[in-house]
């Protein structure tokens, strides 16, 4: 028995020793590579810097890319980009929009933004970052192919795709295809309607801002929804689950999720109501503190180029560039009736809108 203990003890000790060594190596190795672009005293990074200035326009080095796109989409984009620019190593951080922006803002608070390129959510989010002076102004040569209302005139961000918020219905429960948003406010459908919460979903907050600024809807529409016992859930994914699962019959949802589920065979249908749809554009922008502006610019140009837009379509999104075919089940941008509002104003009133919504829905 005692021998066994001794053995166990030795094992523990050697494990601890191994851990300490491992942690030491890892930290040392990482700090050398992680700090290379910033440090100038380090000889190896000095050489790297010299190489960069020699081949001035060459696109090389590492590029830190923060995004909220789904994993597979981000991977496809990076793959295609590195095929074209094999000397760039793209480092990815992918998470929810909230997590990505929080991390970015925390980095800014700590005094050192690590991201080079950012691709998330919607225009008002970028307006906020622009106002905090975190974004670089860049006039992309591809800019004139992007509708003016879907990009920043100062070039700090560009829309990359069109994601409309449309209506999803459960086909086993709804036999007649509705064509208007008003069906959600119809008392006949009381308790059967579901929407993502603007308090948690950035896209839903954007939709709230846009819809309440339309004459046909306004806050009255949301009052009617409340009277109709609308269920407010965390995000678009939850809306899809509830409607596909049959818990609810109607929902407001971002179009590609519904189209995808429909094609995979879920019992749902996607409808673009005749009044029009609010769209978010998942803009892309370059961070002001970027360590590698050449690669960052090349990346943005690539995303907006015909090649990049075809890639977006092949993944399942409506391209923002005119003349590129959307995937099956979605309508092209020139056939979409877009409801919009000024992003600067939306950014300003977003908090107030959300608060009003929270009090309206939760104030019981």
Partner 1 sequence: METKLASIKSDVQSLERRGSWGFPPLSAVILIKWLSTLVIGFFFVYPIIRLLLLSVETNQGWSGVHFAEVLRDQRTWLALDNTLWAVAGSTVLSLVIGVGLAWICAYTDIRGKGWIHLLALMPFIIPSYITTLAWTQLAGPTGLLNKWAAQLAGEHLVLWNVYGLDGIIVLMGLSHYPLVYLLTLAVLYRIPRDLEWAARSSGARQWQVFAKVTLPLALPGIAGGGLLAFVSSLDNFGIPAFLGIPEGISVISTLIYEQVAGFGPDAFSRAAVLSTLLGTVALAGSGLQWLIVRRAKADHTQSDDKSVRFSLGRRRIWVESLVWGFLLLTSIVPFFAMFHTALIRAYGLPFTPENVTLDNFWFVIAGNQSTKQAILNSLMLAGLTTLICVVVGTLLAYWRIKSRDTLAKGLEGAVSVPYALPGMVLGLAMILTWIEPLPGWSPGVYGTIWLILIAYVTRFLILQVKSSASTILQVHHEVEEAARINGAGRLARWRSVLLPLYLPGMLTGAFLVFLTSLSELTVSSLLWSSGAETIGVMIFSLEQAGSTVYSTAFSTLLVLLIGMAIAGGYWLRQRWERRGSHE
Look up residue 57 and give its DSSP letter: T
Q: Which is nearer to partner 1, 177 or 355 (CB)?
A: 355
Q: Which is nearer to partner 1, 257 or 279 (CB)?
A: 257
d(CA 78, CA 80): 5
Q: Which is nearer to partner 1, 296 or 304 (CB)?
A: 296
Q: Which is nearer to partner 1, 72 or 227 (CB)?
A: 72
d(CA 104, CA 164): 26
For 346, left (φ over 0), alpha (ψ -120 to 50), or beta?
A: alpha
Q: Which is nearer to partner 1, 140 or 231 (CB)?
A: 231
Distance of CA 165 to the CA centre of its chain: 14
Residue 257: CB minimum distance to partner 1, A: 5
Helices 293-304 and 306-315: angle between axes, nearest 10 degrees: 60
3-state secondary structure of 342: coil
CB atoms under 10 Å from CB of 56, counted, come to 7
For 236, the token pair is: 């678009």
Residue 92: CB minimum distance to partner 1, A: 5
Residue 275: CB minimum distance to partner 1, A: 25
Residue 208: CB minimum distance to partner 1, A: 13
Q: Which is nearer to partner 1, 211 or 258 (CB)?
A: 258
Which of these, 137, 181, 180, lies nearest to 157 by C-alpha position? 137
Residue 250: CB minimum distance to partner 1, A: 14
Helix (H) or strand (E) run with residue 345 in it: helix 343-362
d(CA 333, CA 227): 34
Return phi, psi of residue 125, to 5°: -60, -40
Residue 215: CB minimum distance to partner 1, A: 27
């Amino acid at each position: 028995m005692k021998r066994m203990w001794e053995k166990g003890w030795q094992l523990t000790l050697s494990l601890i020793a191994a851990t300490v060594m491992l942690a030491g190596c890892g930290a040392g190795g990482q700090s050398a590579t992680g700090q290379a672009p910033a440090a100038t005293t380090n000889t190896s990074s000095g050489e790297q810097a010299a190489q960069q200035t020699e081949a001035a326009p060459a696109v090389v080095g590492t590029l830190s890319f923060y995004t909220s796109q789904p994993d597979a989409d981000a991977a496809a984009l990076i793959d295609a980009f590195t095929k074209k620019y094999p000397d760039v190593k793209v480092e990815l951080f992918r998470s929810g929009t909230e997590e990505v922006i929080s991390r970015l803002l925390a980095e800014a608070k700590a005094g050192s933004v690590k991201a080079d390129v950012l691709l998330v959510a919607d225009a008002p989010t970028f307006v906020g970052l622009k106002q905090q002076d975190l974004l670089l102004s860049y006039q992309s040569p591809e800019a004139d192919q992007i509708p003016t209302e879907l990009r920043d005139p100062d070039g700090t961000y560009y829309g990359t795709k069109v994601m409309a918020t449309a209506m999803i219905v459960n086909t086993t429960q709804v036999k007649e295809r509705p064509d208007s948003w008003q069906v959600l406010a119809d008392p006949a459908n009381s308790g059967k309607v579901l929407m993502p919460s603007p308090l948690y979903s950035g896209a839903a907050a954007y939709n709230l801002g846009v819809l309440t600024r339309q004459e046909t809807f306004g806050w009255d529409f949301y009052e009617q929804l409340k009277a109709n016992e609308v269920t407010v859930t965390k995000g678009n994914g939850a809306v899809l689950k509830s409607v596909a699962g049959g818990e609810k019959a109607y929902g407001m949802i971002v179009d590609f999720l519904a189209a995808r589920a429909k094609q995979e065979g879920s019992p749902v249908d996607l409808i673009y109501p005749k009044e029009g749809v609010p769209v978010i554009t998942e803009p892309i922008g370059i961070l002001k503190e970027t360590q590698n502006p050449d690669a960052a610019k090349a990346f943005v140009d690539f995303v907006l180029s015909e090649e990049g837009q075809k890639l977006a379509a092949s993944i399942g999104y409506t391209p923002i560039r005119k003349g590129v075919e959307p995937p099956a089940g979605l309508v092209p941008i020139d056939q979409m009736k877009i409801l919009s509002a000024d992003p600067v104003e939306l950014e300003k009133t977003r908090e107030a809108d959300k608060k009003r919504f929270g009090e309206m829905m939760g104030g019981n």
